[in-house]
Structures are given as C-alpha cells and as structure tokens.
Structure 1
Amino acid sequence: MPRQRAVPTLTTLCLQSLAQHMQSLWAKDYSDNYLDEYEFRFLVGPFNDLTCGLVQELLGLLGTSRRLSRAALHLLLLPHLQQLSLRPCPALANNALGHLIVLRCQGLSVLDLGGCGRLSPSVLVDLAEGLPRLSRLGLAHTQANVQVLSAVGSCCRHLRELDVSGCKKVTPRALRHLGYDPLARSPGCLTLRVLLARDLEHSEDGDMVAAVAFLLLALPHLEVLAHSALPDALRLLHTRQLDGTKDSEGFPSLKELAQSRGAAPKGHPLTLPLRQLEEVEEDALGIVHAVCPQAEEVSVWLGDSPGPSGLRELPDWECLSRVTLGCAGRHGRALAEVLPLAQGLGTFLRTLTLHGFICRDPLSLPTLLASCPGLQSFSAELEVPPDPHAHAEPPEEPPALPPVWATDLLPHGLHQLQSFSLTLAGPVPAAHRPALSSTLASLLCEAPQLQTLRLLAVPFPLDSVLEPALAGPALRELRELSLAESLVSAGAVWQLLGSDGPLQRLDLSRCPDIHRRDYDAFLQAVRKQRLDLDITWE
C-alpha cells in the first residue's frame, strides 16, 4: 500500500538547504554585526527577494525542525510578510521582538502569538494598534488583558478570528471591549466571526454569562463563540430577562442591544447567526435551537435518561451537519437512541462523533451507518456490555479456517467517508463479534474515499476483517492507519505493505501479536524499498 518516497521539488531542496545553513552562515553574520541594533527599520539582505509564500514556508520549516533562532527570525521579518506564527518558538518572543514586528511587518494579516507569555500587555497593545490589516490574531495563553482587548476592539477593524483561550487576565469587562468602545461610543470588531475564549479565569458566573450575552448581541456576524458560559447566555437571551444589566462603565445594556437587533420583549423572536455550539446540555436543546436556528455544528452532553425533547430536537435543525454526542451520566446511553437522529438528518449529516455509548444490540452500529450515506467523518468510543453467560461457556477453540464475514450490511455504501475511528472498551461477547466484524468488513469495502482509519483496542482478530478490502480495489486512498492495542497479525501487516496505495502512517502500538522482530522486519522492508511510510510500535 505505501508508495516510494517522492523526489522533492527544486524549491523544496533550496529551502531545505537554506534552513540547514541558516545558523552557520546568514544568522551568524547577523548575530556578529547587527542583532542588538534596533535603529534600522528594514533589512537589505539575501531574503528580500523571496516571495511572501517562500518566506512563510521557510519560517515554517525552521520552526518545525527547531532551527529557528533569534537572529534567523530577525532576518525573516520582512515588509511583505503576510503570515507569522511564533507558536513553535514562544521562547524567542520578547518585547524587543514585538516592537520589531510592528516596525517591519505592517502588512501582516495573520499573527499567531499563542503561548508567548513573555510579551507584556503594553507590547500586545502596540501590536494591535500597529497592525491594521490583521484578519486573524492568536493571543492564547498570553498576558492579554482589558487594555489589550480594548485596543483590539478599537483598532482591528478587519479582524475575523481571535483566540484568547487560556488568558487568565481576560475578565468579563475585557470581553465587552471587543463588542463596544465606551470612550468613542462606537461598535467594536463588527467583522469578527470566530472568537475562541476557552479556559479563562473563573469569575462571578453572572458577570461572565452577561458578558458572553453582550458579545452575542454586539457582534452581528459572530458565527463561533467557544466559551463554557455560552449555553447559559443563550438561555438568558431566550428568556428576555435583560433588565438590570446596565453597565456603569459606558457600555449599553443587554436590553438596548437586543432592541437594536430588532428583538423587542413582545416583538420578533431573537435569533443569532451562530454556526457552531459547544457543550450544550440535553435539556437546553430546545432553547438553543430557538435562538440559533442556523447552527451547522453542535456538541451535546447527555444524562443517564432522555429529557422531554432530548435528541428528537436535533433533526429539526435544517442546517445541522456535524454532531458530537457525549454521555455525561454514570450509566451511559444505548447506541440505539442515536438511530432516530441519524435517520432524521439522513444524507445531510457529514460528521458524527460519539462518546460513551453502550452497544447493547450489535446491529445498531451498521443500522446507524447505513442511515447516514453522506458521512465524511465518523468517530465512536463504544462500550459493549459483558456477556452474562461468559463464565458458563467453555473457552472458545480457534477455528481451523479464518471466518468469511458478510460485506453487504451497508447497501448504499459510504462513498464520501474519509475518516473512520472506532474504539471498543472492554471485552466483546462472542455473540457480538460476527455482527461487528461484518460491519467493519462492509465499511472497508464500501468506503472508497477512506483516508484515515483507526480501529483501536478491538479485542477480536482483525485479519479476516481486513482481508476482503485488501483483496479488492478498496482502501486505495488510505493514508493513515492505526490499529493500536488491537488484535492483528504480522501477516496482515505484510499484506498491507504489499498492496497498492498512498499509506504514509501505520500505528501498531501495543498490538499484542506484533513483536519486536516483526517491527524490525517491517522497518527493513521500508528502508530497502524506499517507501514513504512511518511505522510506530512499542
């Protein structure tokens, strides 16, 4: 299945040569003569003639190979640079570097400072004020505070995406500055569409809920707001209990903002353009659906027992195509409960992720998959109930010949499926194995576009499951395969290595039937045939 390593392009070879000699040649000269000089605004050197894309590619190559030094970074801070990420090298990001970025790279549209905790709030303010073209800004785990977000709200007029996750100094008042400038009495980042604000410092719940509700009303184009208080803020807006939310620091009240959005207490219902919703509890689905009817993606936490509306609310979302369901209760929920949802959304469902469901009926999994022929990604962590008669049965004897499983459990196929992941917790009763094995065999034969396959901790042999797909034209697009902790033999791996396809990553971690001698033989074959394949085993 893996292919031989492709011959690198001339551009790639040149960039690799530059990266290899950067420290010993170009960066050395700069370090010896100019590193501590900050009077000049621009550098005239060997990298000025590189296009923006090549400079960004060189920066990425240096960062991923851990060759990016302070001097090399200075050399590549060029006026025509449009994207810069310091996430791979946060230790290099100090206040002096922040000033250089403002001085030299005013054409930046994307700046990611995630993890750069050494940059002071005043420098972050200078960056927000001095880079007017920013459309995407990453400030996760930095010293961003109310002054920083005030500068962002006032100056970053083209900002579409902002990440302040993990910023412990971001308070509810700081968030409000993104939606409104109380000094200028004008709106803030009206173009903002994505705001990631996870894991902020805990404050008074009411203050944070009101602040999130303020942003939802003040930012008319907001499509994604990732914050744990979002469901409560939606509930607050739905109930219209907005009196008493007047802010003493010059911000308009929630009631004033709601009226500006055309939602009077007895007028039109308030709706928001949110496309993605996280951590919604099952009993709040009705409210969330009423306020966010255009949602395309939702993740829901389910209790031990269904609510009054429960999962039945989800198919009523006309635009819904990506669903994540997690069981937060102690006992889990039956996988069969997801079937009405899958049948209701049908061909519209593109992504389905399940956590903690119990597969009591082995046919519920193929029925679920067959109900969603338009799936592009499926991931499930399932529990299988123990067999109550297991202790009374004699141990099974291995069959003389490997079983031949049915491959017709998915009559319509999954022709758009690109990623499939299944994790099984606990031993699987003997009565469940034929149905689950046939389901997997059918899937592999009926998903011609499959690129990523993960069968994790599967406690029954997978050789016979893989055999039908390897014997036919299936799995020709597979690029990543993980069989970690599953039962697969060395013979099946050799069959994978001998078949045709673009496989690049193979994970055999903790597979009990794969031994060190097998792993060494696989690596030897990869080196001998110069295959573009990484194999993991431990």
Structure 2
Amino acid sequence: MKEVWVKDYADKYLDRYSFRHIMGPFNLLPGDLVEELTCLLSKRKQLSRAALHLLLVPQLHNLSLERCPGLVTSAMCTHIAARCQGLWSLDLSGAQQLPSKVLSATLCCLPELRSLSLAGTPCDRCVIRTITHHCPLLRHLDVSRCHFLSPASLLVLVGGPFCSSSSGSSFCSTSTSQPPVASSSSSSSSFSFPSPVPLTSLLALDIGFGEQEKDPAAAAAYLLLSLPGLKTLAMEGLAQACRLIEHREFSQTDEFSIREGVPKLMEVWSERRHRQDKDRWMEKREGAAAAAAAGGDEEQEEEEMLWEGYCDDSDEDVSGDEGPSCSRSKVEEKRKGRVSSQSGDEQLILQLKDVKGVTYEFLDSLGHLCPHICSIAVDVNDNKYTAARNQGSVLAAGLQTWSGQLQSLSLLHAGLLDDLSPALQVTGSSLVSLTLQGMRTRPQCPLLEIIKACPRLRELLIFAERPLEFPGFPAIPEEDVVAEWDDRDLPQLPNLCSLTINFSHSDSQKRPPMSWLSLGKVLRCLLRGSPLLERVSLVALPCPLNYILQHLLHIRMYNLHRFGGIADLYPMALRRVKHIDLTRTDVKMTTDREKPTGVTAPASSCLCSGPQEIMGGIKQGGGG
C-alpha cells in the first residue's frame, strides 16, 4: 500500500488536484475492513495524509482520527464531508487547529451521525447549534476540554426555544437558514424549532467557564430535565443540579434563565414531571388491563380515579400553585389515604446510569434522583460544605444508595487512602472497576483491606502521590519479608485482568522508604492471586521488586517440577500477562529470550507473551 498506491497518489495527485471521489484500491472493500485498516495504521502512527485520502470511501461508517489529530485540517474535513456522508461515528479529538466554522460546515453534511467526539477542539456554541439542526440521530457527544464552550451553550442541544437563546443567536449561523426567533410565549409553534437531540451520552468535563459561578449547576439542571434519554453524563455541577431539583430551589436559576433567554427552570421541571407522571399512569393502565381478565375490576376503578387526580394535579403544577388541589383531596378521600399530597408524591426519577464530575457532599441528592447509577466518578476533596464533617462517613453515606449495584467507581482524593476505606467497604462487593487518583499513602496503608472488600474486581488503577515520610518508622529489609509471607492471610482477585499502581516521581525527588511489609503483601497478593492478569503497570514503586518476582518464579518452578504436565490445571502468577510497564521501578530483568540468564537489563517497559520473558533473567541485586 505504502510503496505503490500511496506513493503514486502522493506524487501525482495529492497537492495538484482536489477530487470529490477517488477510484482507488479501497472502493470495492467492505467498510468495516477499511475501518480496521485505518485504525491499524493510526495505532502504528503510519497513517499519512495521502493514505487517509485513499481510505475516505463512501462505505465508511466509523472514522477515528484521535491518534493523528495533525492530519485533521480544513482541507481534510472538506474531503470527509464530501466522501463520507454516511458516517455513523466520527472522532476528531485533539484537532485544535480546526476553526469552528469548518467544524460546523463538516457536520452539516453528516446527518447519519450517531456518535461524535470533539474533545479538545475549538468547538463553540455555533458548532452545538449545527449539531442540533443537522444531526437528528446523534446519541453520543463528547465535548470535553472544549474551552471555547460555556455550560450555557449546551442548552442548544435541547432544541425548541433553547435554540434561540439570546446568548449567541445573533452571531451564530449555519449553512442553512436559521429558524425564526422564539417569542417569550409558550404557545410558539413547535415546527419552528428543531427537536431535542436524542442524546443518551454527553461528556462535557473541563469546558469553558460560565459568566457566573452557579452557571454549571444551572445548565446541568436544564439538561437533566430536558433530555430524558440521558444515561451517561459527565459535567461539572451535576450533583449540585440534583440538589437544586430535589429541593425545588428553582428561583436560584432565574437570573440564569433571563440572561440566556430560556424558559424558567420551574416550567421545565413541571413539564418533565407531567410527562413522567403520564408515562407512569400509562404503565399502570397497561398492567391493570392485563389484570382485568383475572377479575381486576377494582384495580381498574382505582386507576381511573388516579388519572382524574393526575390531570388536575398536572394543571396545578404548570400554574405554579404550591397548594394541593381540591380534586387531589377528593382522590385521597376515595383511596382512603393511599395517595399522598403533592409534598409527598412520587419523586422525579432520572435515568442516569453513568456519571462523572460529581462532588461528594451532594451524593444524597444524586441518589434520590438517580437510583439506577452503576458507574460514578467522585471528587472527594475538602470544601466549604463539609469542612467540619468527616469525609469518609459522608462519602460512605452518599454511596450507600447504590450498594450492591455499583460496578465502576473512581475517586479523586488528595488525602490519605484511609479516608476512602469506609466507602469501599460499602460498595466494594459489586465493583468490577476501581480507580483511586491523587491519594497519599503511609507505611501502613490499608490496601489489603480494600482488596478484601472488592473481590470481583477486573480492573484496578491506583495513581498515588509519593509516600509520606515518617522518620521514626523503620524500613523492613526485603529479604526478611519473604520469610514472613503467609498465603493464608492474603486475599485473591481471581477476575483481575488489568493492574496499575503508579506513583508520582521526578528526578529531583528522593524515593522515601515505605513499609516493605505493607506494600510487599499487596504486590504479592495482586501478582499471585490474579491468574487472569494480562496488563501490569507498576511505575515508580517506592520499593524494589526483585524479591517478589523471584518468589513468584520460585513458586512457578516448584509447581512445574511437582505437577509436571498437569501444571496448567493450577493457576500460576503472570501466566497470561501480555504487557508489563516497570518505568522507574527498581528491578533487574532480561527482555530478550536469546540473552543468557545471567545477563540483566533494567526494564522500563516491555511487551511479552508469557511469564518466561518477564521473569527469565531476574537476579538479586540493585535496581536499574
């Protein structure tokens, strides 16, 4: 490909002509095969401008240029818009050199998009407006790290009158004529505005700042109430928005709504609640109809009373009257107190399952509105709301709502690991993925307790700051530790496939000693007790690994000698490892099967197919 097709096209046509379509070697290939070839070249950093020109064929459905953002130019976007109008998925992450006008012009020609990633691009309100008008099938949108995009700009995704908000409508235009400006009246014709984008996933972390401090929470509240299909949301102010909705503190957003020219949040909430109550009633009615064949006449009568009360109550909600309606009281009397007043009616339930950008002090409100969450990323740092409260207990209480169902948990914490232990005891039994970032460790950090609390983990990622120094704490010699190991005391993670334990480090910092007994047991547990482990990253560990790996190798050799041909029946450490990264970690090993056992090489990163390559040349001695 490189020597024939790409070379010929680059020499004869690339900078001389601009073709709308190219009849080349890839036009007759299936689209998925072209996608696989494009991904392979990108991964190997072999995708050139000429090669990409040839690979842009009409049958292409998925195109990701995240690994080569330098190729994403205005001219390349023109080719994408002309040749790949059937794209379902497009990833232009990191293309910082693209003007927003080029992004808008490109998206105007891609009406079939289901997934779009513009993370780290100059995406702004104009681009979001284009998406709303021209991408009616979009389900996933990633605008993370788009610093020209304010939180309020995301409201354009809601469609309707939000598309004609005062901030930006005067300077934003697309290639097609704009819809008429919405009037303040709620009776505007629906056909005058685009429909809401049917998003199920929106990632918008680290975007631009709003005009006011509370803008992120206000924008998040509008999105939560206006996009009912959202299952995944990553956005600052998310938990605060849930608290605002739960306590109906809508007046706090009045200034925001006036400034942005959008309906008041109270109106949006009333409409969402009306729609949810109607959906619930329809579900109950269908259930009652199914039960009618079994003599469910009484239930049918009860549902009719419910519908009567629901209609009157919904009208009252829209009018903004906080008192209970007369018809509601009648329904209560008929049902003998089984239906409560408005202050005690069913809570609005959001369908979110995956959330990021959450602060831990508002987890209780998030839990009340979003009981179905199975993946969450929480920032656990001190702030004015919980300055006098215990972080661990507040976090544990907030996560209690999802105990037994949470599968993925990510915690950002600048304090000690000990603070997170109560929360992990609450949620650990169901966790499949655990990420701990920014924490500090000490000689007796409770990592083993955390492992015991999370027996189902498949992925464990720990990014820690350099260990705290305790001058009076003695370091235990590593050779003494091996003799003290007792397998009966060590938990196992039989499902663990990926392990990352990385410590921050710079050349100017000295690596302080940590309790070798504490960290050694953790490494011993993770490396030997995880037979399915495939990827290992142990970066800048504050202790050498030689004795641990030697011990694992000794156990493996013992099993091979004792069990011979049936050794495969017994789980062995590092048996399935395909990638290992030991950057800045003290260890000596060979990375080449051809080297004699006595030759060692400090390993920073190596790819391997089995434990023989990893541990074949380990020797006693100092690290590299």
TM value normalised by structure 1: 0.78
Equivalent in 338, 356, 381 of residue 278 of structure 1: 356
Matches within 5 A, 1:255-404: 255-262=266-273, 266=343, 267-303=345-381, 306-307=390-391, 309-318=394-403, 319-328=405-414, 332-335=415-418, 337-357=419-439, 359=441, 362=444, 364-380=446-462, 381=464, 386-390=469-473, 403=483
SS at match of 2:250: coil
Taking the aligned partners of 1:116 and 1:56, their CA distance within structure 2 comes to 20
**Taking structure 1 as reference, are residues 209 and 187 closer, same or farther at Cα in structure 2, changes over 3 Å only?**
farther
SS at match of 2:145: coil
Moved more, 290-299 or 374-383: 374-383
Q: Which amino acid aligns with 2:535?
A: T
Counterpart contact for 2:583–2:605, Cα < 8 Å? no
**Taking structure 1 as reference, are residues 532 and 99 closer, same or farther at Cα in structure 2, changes over 3 Å only?**
farther
Moved more, 376-385 or 142-151: 376-385
Tell me what 1:508 maps to: none
Taking the aligned partners of 2:417 and 2:99, their CA distance within structure 1 comes to 51
Q: How many residue pairs end up in the alignment?
A: 482
Tell me what 1:240 maps to: 248
Taking the aligned partners of 1:164 and 1:230, their CA distance within structure 2 comes to 16
Taking the aligned partners of 2:607 and 2:129, their CA distance within structure 1 comes to 59
SS at match of 2:214: helix
Matches within 5 A, 1:93-132: 93-132=72-111
SS at match of 1:103: helix
Q: Structure 1 residue 136: deviation in Å?
A: 0.9
**Taking structure 1 as reference, are residues 417 and 241 closer, same or farther at Cα in structure 2, changes over 3 Å only?**
same
Matches within 5 A, 1:507-526: 518-519=600-601
Q: Which amino acid aligns with 1:348?
A: S
Matches within 5 A, 1:122-521: 122-182=101-161, 183=179, 184=191, 188-204=195-211, 205-243=213-251, 244=254, 246-247=257-258, 251-262=262-273, 266=343, 267-303=345-381, 306-307=390-391, 309-318=394-403, 319-328=405-414, 332-335=415-418, 337-357=419-439, 359=441, 362=444, 364-380=446-462, 381=464, 386-390=469-473, 403=483, 405-411=485-491, 413-423=492-502, 427-428=512-513, 432-470=515-553, 471-472=555-556, 473-488=572-587, 490=588, 493-494=589-590, 518-519=600-601
Can you list the C-alpha shifts for 1:38-57, whole angstroms capped at 9, x where unaligned? 5xx43323221122122223
Q: Structure 1 residue 349: deviation in Å?
A: 1.2
Can you list the C-alpha shifts for 1:445-472, whole angstroms capped at 9, x where unaligned? 2211111223333333423322343333
Q: Structure 1 residue 374: deviation in Å?
A: 0.5
Larger radius of gyration: 2
Counterpart contact for 1:153–1:181, Cα < 8 Å? no
Q: Structure 1 residue 256: deviation in Å?
A: 1.9
Q: Which amino acid aligns with 2:8?
A: L
SS at match of 1:518: coil
Q: Structure 1 residue 348: deviation in Å?
A: 0.5
SS at match of 1:31: coil
Residue 36 in structure 1 maps to residue 122 in structure 2? no
Q: Structure 1 residue 209: deviation in Å?
A: 2.9
Q: Which amino acid aligns with 2:142?
A: D
Can you list the C-alpha shifts for 1:131-151, whole angstroms capped at 9, x where unaligned? 111011122333333222112
Q: Structure 1 residue 359: deviation in Å?
A: 5.0
**Taking structure 1 as reference, are residues 474 and 532 closer, same or farther at Cα in structure 2, changes over 3 Å only?**
closer
SS at match of 1:75: helix
Q: Which amino acid aligns with 1:23?
A: V
Taking the aligned partners of 2:73 and 2:603, their CA distance within structure 1 comes to 48
Can you list the C-alpha shifts for 1:165-197, whole angstroms capped at 9, x where unaligned? 233332344311111233445564442122222
Matches within 5 A, 1:73-84: 73-84=52-63
**Taking structure 1 as reference, are residues 476 and 213 closer, same or farther at Cα in structure 2, changes over 3 Å only?**
same
Q: Structure 1 residue 152: deviation in Å?
A: 0.7
Counterpart contact for 1:338–1:368, Cα < 8 Å? no
Can you list the C-alpha shifts for 1:262-316, whole angstroms capped at 9, x where unaligned? 1767443233222233343332222222222222222223346614633232133
Structure 2 unaligned spans of 5+: 162-178, 180-190, 275-316, 323-342, 383-388, 505-510, 557-571, 618-622
TM value normalised by structure 2: 0.68
Taking the aligned partners of 2:606 and 2:90, their CA distance within structure 1 comes to 43
SS at match of 1:130: coil
Taking the aligned partners of 1:359 and 1:476, their CA distance within structure 2 comes to 30
More helix by share: 2
Structure 1 unaligned spans of 5+: 1-17, 500-514
Taking the aligned partners of 1:398 and 1:209, their CA distance within structure 2 comes to 51
Taking the aligned partners of 2:134 and 2:497, their CA distance within structure 1 comes to 41
Moved more, 126-135 or 88-97: 88-97
Tell me what 1:86 maps to: 65
SS at match of 2:549: helix
Tell me what 1:56 maps to: 35
Tell me what 2:334 maps to: none
Q: Which amino acid aligns with 2:390?
A: P
Counterpart contact for 2:237–2:357, Cα < 8 Å? no
More strand by share: 1
Aligned-pair identity (%)? 32
Can you list the C-alpha shifts for 1:322-353, whole angstroms capped at 9, x where unaligned? 2222323xxx2352x43433333343011222
Q: Which amino acid aligns with 1:193?
A: T
Taking the aligned partners of 1:288 and 1:223, their CA distance within structure 2 comes to 14
Counterpart contact for 1:192–1:222, Cα < 8 Å? yes
Counterpart contact for 1:179–1:190, Cα < 8 Å? yes
Greater relative CO (CA pairs within 8 A, separation 6+) = 1
SS at match of 1:481: strand
**Taking structure 1 as reference, are residues 334 and 52 closer, same or farther at Cα in structure 2, changes over 3 Å only?**
closer
Counterpart contact for 1:114–1:140, Cα < 8 Å? yes
Q: Which amino acid aligns with 1:372?
A: C
SS at match of 1:324: strand
Q: Structure 1 residue 521: deviation in Å?
A: 11
Question: What is the aligned-residue RMSD (CA, Å)?
Answer: 3.8
Q: Structure 1 residue 219: deviation in Å?
A: 1.1
